[in-house]
A and B are shown apart, each in its own frame.
Chain A
């Protein structure tokens, strides 16, 4: 079993839809949770960064962490064609020099005009 599981999709939605992207994990020691966005044949860019359970909002994006269920989500409101990309979840235990960043497989999202 992989430490981090993410449905690769592809996920196709109409413009304006609310998108929900999810990851589950097995290591209860994970404390830091991130979402990266990767456009085709480009490097990933950090989208959201959270520590601890709860919600964090940034514009149209909301990151949600549920440590009790070992489940994280990224919600995109009013989705746009420019949101079409692969979304990678990543997580890490420890802090500073300890721990290792573990990436999910990535979910490919297509937002149709």
Chain B
């Protein structure tokens, strides 16, 4: 089945540690996105990528980094510079560049130990 796979489902980070969230899609979509979801705040855009080897900062990029070496993959690294990383992270993709019809993965819950 086509879709977006996020892993792991749950992730714990120790202080000072970098962690990487995986996002893979087999929908042949050009654009991919990372959102952060906190209770009562909706979805906030961290980074997005319209094409391989290119990505743009979203509204809350500080403390995060991404790469887009393959069309299918868009991993997100939460660095130690992100002081409040506890949140639900959602990866999404779309058929057209910066399209509004997003397909989402099932999310990764990141917590701090």
Q: Are A44 and B41 in contact (CB under 8 A)?
A: no
- A104–B50 Cα gap in the complex (Å)? 23
Interface band, chain B: 20 to 34
Count A-B contacts at CB 8 Å.
54
Q: Are A105 and B107 in contact (CB under 8 A)?
A: no
Q: Are A8 and B100 in contact (CB under 8 A)?
A: no
Asked if B70 is at the interface of the complex by the 8 Å CB criterion, the answer is no
Question: Which residues of chain A from 92 to 113 have a CB within 8 Å of any chain B CB?
Answer: 92, 96-101, 103-106
- A28–B106 Cα gap in the complex (Å)? 32
Q: Are A46 and B106 in contact (CB under 8 A)?
A: no
Q: Are B109 and A41 in contact (CB under 8 A)?
A: yes
| Neighbouring B residues of A4 by C-beta, 8 Å | 42
Choice from A34, A41, A105 contacting B41 with Cβ under 8 Å: A105
Nearest B residue to A43, CB-CB: B104
State the A residues within 8 Å of B (CB): 4, 6, 8, 32, 34, 36, 41-46, 49, 88, 90, 92, 96-101, 103-106
